[in-house]
Amino acid sequence: MPTMLFKKKKKTQKNQPVSNQSHCCYCSMQCSLQLVPSDKHESGLVVKPSPDFPVATGRLCQKGLNSLDHVVHPSRIKEPLVRVDQDRNNKWSNTSWNTAFDQISDKIKELQTTYGKDAVSVFGGGSLTNEVSYLLGKFTRVALQSKYIDYNGRYCMSSAAAAGNKAFGVDRGLTLPLSELENAKYIILAGTNIAECQPTMMPYLMAAKKKGAVIVTIDPRNTKTSKLADIHVRLQPGFDAMFVNSLLNVIVNEKLYDEKFIKDRTNGFSELVETVQPFTPDYVEEMTGILAPKIRTIARGFAKAKTGIVFTARGLEQQVNGVENTLNYINLCLTTGKIGKPGSGFGAVTGQANGQGGREHGQKADQLPGYRMLENESARAHVSKVWGISPDELPKSGVSAFELFEKINAGDIKAMIVLGSNPIVSSPNNAVVEQAFKKLELLVVVDLFETETAEYADWLLPGSSFLEAEGTLTNLEGRVFHRGKVLDTPNENLLDYEIICELAERLGRGQYFQYESIEDVFNELAKASAGGKADYSGITYKRLKEEKGLFWPCPDPEHPGTPKMFTKEFYHEDGKAKIFAIKPEKPAEPIDSEYPYILTTGRLGNHYLSGAQTRRTENLNKKSPIPVAEIHPWLAKKVGLIPNQKMKITSRRGSLEFHVKITEGIQPKTIFVPFHWGKELAINQLTNDALAPISRMPEFKICAVKVKAIK
């Protein structure tokens, strides 16, 4: 057997942190935390906020405060596991790393010899560091020589990314640092539930409000975020584009737009003027129930305010029309000149810990590091030079996350490596994923736990947690920062990046994966990104540590970084932004007489994504132990549902039963169910797998359902 590239780690003294500074593993705020000794927790440690980072200094939400729990959970996978029974009855056998690497690489070679290089695919995640995201992309293209890689961020930021690229020529979630929020006089929050999803951002909004900002929320539900709002628009899912057209109609017809900004800095305004004409406030009131005077108040308020910000998130982006919805919200900023100026800007609020950096460096089916495009000849030349291969060796673009499962079902892909995702819980219409997993000849999962996805795996390798792996991440503002190692991996296991490099070695491509440390990987990433839109080439670990993070683009060692985008130019060739006139389209599955209600899905404050981590965190799980469907009293009455009764929800893909919360705070025809649970509680059994044409984002936020009270 070959010897391993990486040795088992020397263990530091048990439970003695090597440093005590880290960052929370959950959302894109990336609050800093410290581990301090305590006898309150059986690990001997407890999480406290840390003053070490300028974003949410001294603040942590419930998830951050409890983020150590899953790391030290007894169900952590501590050794490589191999499936021993063909029927997948959850029988695993422990094995050594050496055997695991040997057998996995042999199987990959066998499959690739029989079916070709593209028979093996990779599915990554947005919690992973920049270095691991980068390596997954490089591993797929250089070690596997396959075109098939994509990641869970496809389900997350892809519509926002496509809209940013179309309008601005670049995709950076927030175009301005959070510190500018307090100078905004008008803030529109559309389809974003910040109070539950980025809780430590709330003080920024409260500070703005204290200084006189008007806050508007647009959501089918009254949320914790909408409590802060001066105006709440409770719209039916799927009507954002039409609603925004009514705002633009007022802005155009009352001449509230910024003529000079439009002329000097944008293209496309005249087409928008034409397109929004039919969408008068009265017409849109008739179509949506949103009162015309309210529409006029918001349009005038935003346009006339000296400064203003629009934030969107998954509410309107996770739709087949998600790109167009986002573009229309961007139009509010472009027509009123509220971007690139102090206290003004647009932001698509990034979701995952490294949701920003994770989408920049090559995990995406069509991208190379630094936001370079895989199909672009000069991009291929640049990156292949850094990697020491010939550009002809680089595969072309693959397919999006959900389409990977369709390719498996079509027989084109035979193997998958999943690292940093739990796609059977988080993919739409997840029967398609189950079918795919059963069909695979090889499924390797690298995770902390035996997740619902891992239950289908042939191999389950222990992954490293956020406290164990050093690296860099990029927060929702585009701020790159360094996260140090705090704890050893259990059982002195390998780190995620070492697993990737070792596998490359066994596949005979080890010469391209020779790194002394994770810092080496970063330095190569920085080179590969040089000259790209997300340029990290002026960033080093030393600078990140000394300067407490740097905003990209940062193209040379003297460059101070770019906290604020578009102050002078947008990224299109002529330096201008593009205004896209949006004609509202229907969702993929409109309601009808058989399925008369809308199912929308989303998040709770106490759980995170597929729940793999937070369902293993007692303090969080006990507060939200099961999913509860939210419905309006009108709908409860209509279906004869009384309090404490369960409800059956049926879509064209199946039926599930849920406990119910009857609440005035939801649009009457809409039902909301959180998606943090697996198996018979997984709402993704019912969601629609229709994909947005450009971004390939699934329509998580809208599908047609019928409901029945369970007697």
Ligand X SMILES: Nc1nc2c(c(=O)[nH]1)N[C@H]1C(S)=C(S)[C@@H](COP(=O)(O)OP(=O)(O)OC[C@H]3O[C@@H](n4cnc5c(=O)[nH]c(N)nc54)[C@H](O)[C@@H]3O)O[C@H]1N2
Shortest Cβ 428–ligand X spacing (Å): 7
Q: Is 101 a residue that touches ligand X (CB under 6 A)?
A: no
Q: Is 318 a residue that touches ligand X (CB under 6 A)?
A: yes
CB-nearer residue toward ligand X: 175 or 537: 175
Binding site partner of 31, from ligand SF4, ligand X, Mo ion, none, Cβ cut-off 5-8 A by kind: ligand SF4
Which of 159, 192, 326, 474 binds ligand X (CB under 6 A)? It is 192
Which of 142, 187, 190, 416 binds ligand X (CB under 6 A)? It is 190
Burial of 101-136, coded b for 16+ CB within 10 Å and e otherwise, reads bebbbebbeebbeebeebbbbbbbbbbbbbbbbbbb
Half-sphere exposure of 185 (CA within 13 A, CB side): 11
Nearest residue to 150 (alpha-carbon basis) of 700, 530, 701, 697: 697
Which of 607, 615, 632, 706 binds ligand X (CB under 6 A)? It is 607
CB-nearer residue toward Mo ion: 80 or 602: 602
By the 10 Å C-beta count (0-12 exposed, 13-18 middle, 19+ buried), 244 is classed as buried
Binding map of ligand X across residues 468-497, x = CB under 6 A, - = no contact: ----------------------------x-
Q: Are 68 and 38 in contact (CB under 8 A)?
A: no
CB-nearer residue toward ligand X: 403 or 447: 447
Nearest residue to 603 (alpha-carbon basis) of 673, 669, 680: 673
Shortest Cβ 156–Mo ion spacing (Å): 3
Shortest Cβ 352–Mo ion spacing (Å): 5
Residues composing the chain: 711
Q: Is 156 a residue that touches Mo ion (CB under 5 A)?
A: yes
Q: Is 25 a residue that touches Mo ion (CB under 5 A)?
A: no
* Helical (H) or strand (E) element with 274: helix 269-276
Question: Which residues are within 8 A (CB) of 285 and not within 5 positions of it... i.e. 6 or more apart?
Answer: 291, 292, 295
- Pair of tokens at residue 181: 């929020």
Rounded to whole angstroms, the Cα distance separating 116 from 464 reads 31
Rounded to whole angstroms, the Cα distance separating 100 from 615 reads 29
Q: Is 336 a residue that touches ligand X (CB under 6 A)?
A: no
Binding site partner of 423, from Mo ion, ligand X, ligand SF4, none, Cβ cut-off 5-8 A by kind: ligand X
Rounded to whole angstroms, the Cα distance separating 665 from 682 reads 23
Which of 228, 609, 620, 649 binds ligand X (CB under 6 A)? It is 609
CB-nearer residue toward Mo ion: 352 or 429: 352
Binding site partner of 701, from ligand X, ligand SF4, Mo ion, none, Cβ cut-off 5-8 A by kind: ligand X
CA 342 to chain centre: 27
Binding site partner of 29, from ligand X, ligand SF4, Mo ion, none, Cβ cut-off 5-8 A by kind: ligand SF4
Which of 241, 303, 700, 707 binds ligand X (CB under 6 A)? It is 700
Q: Is 124 a residue that touches ligand X (CB under 6 A)?
A: no
Q: Are 563 and 477 in contact (CB under 8 A)?
A: yes
C-beta atoms surrounding 520 within 10 Å: 12
Question: Which residues are within 8 A (CB) of 225 and not within 5 positions of it... i.e. 6 or more apart?
Answer: 189, 192, 193, 194, 195, 196, 217, 219
Candidates 8-16, 235-243, 275-283, 289-297; binding stretch for ligand X (CB under 6 A): 235-243
- According to DSSP, the residues that pair with 656 across neighbouring strands are 649
Half-sphere exposure of 608 (CA within 13 A, CB side): 26
Nearest residue to 684 (alpha-carbon basis) of 596, 565, 599: 599
Which of 419, 534, 599, 631 binds ligand X (CB under 6 A)? It is 419
**Which stretches of the chain bind ligand SF4, using CB under 6 A?**
24, 26-27, 29-31, 56, 60-61, 63-64, 198-200
Shortest Cβ 25–ligand X spacing (Å): 6
Candidates 76-84, 125-133, 530-538, 703-711; binding stretch for ligand X (CB under 6 A): 125-133
CB-nearer residue toward ligand SF4: 390 or 619: 619
CA 557 to chain centre: 29
CB-nearer residue toward Mo ion: 570 or 700: 700
Query: Contacts with ligand X: how many residues (CB under 6 A)?
Result: 64
Q: Are 384 and 157 in contact (CB under 8 A)?
A: no
Q: Is 351 a residue that touches Mo ion (CB under 5 A)?
A: yes
Which of 52, 196, 230, 434 binds ligand X (CB under 6 A)? It is 196
Contacts with ligand X by CB under 6 A lie at: 27, 125-128, 152, 155-156, 190-193, 196-197, 218-221, 223, 237-238, 240, 313-316, 318, 351-352, 419-423, 425-426, 446-449, 451, 463-466, 496, 600-603, 605, 607-610, 612-613, 672, 675, 683-684, 687, 700-701
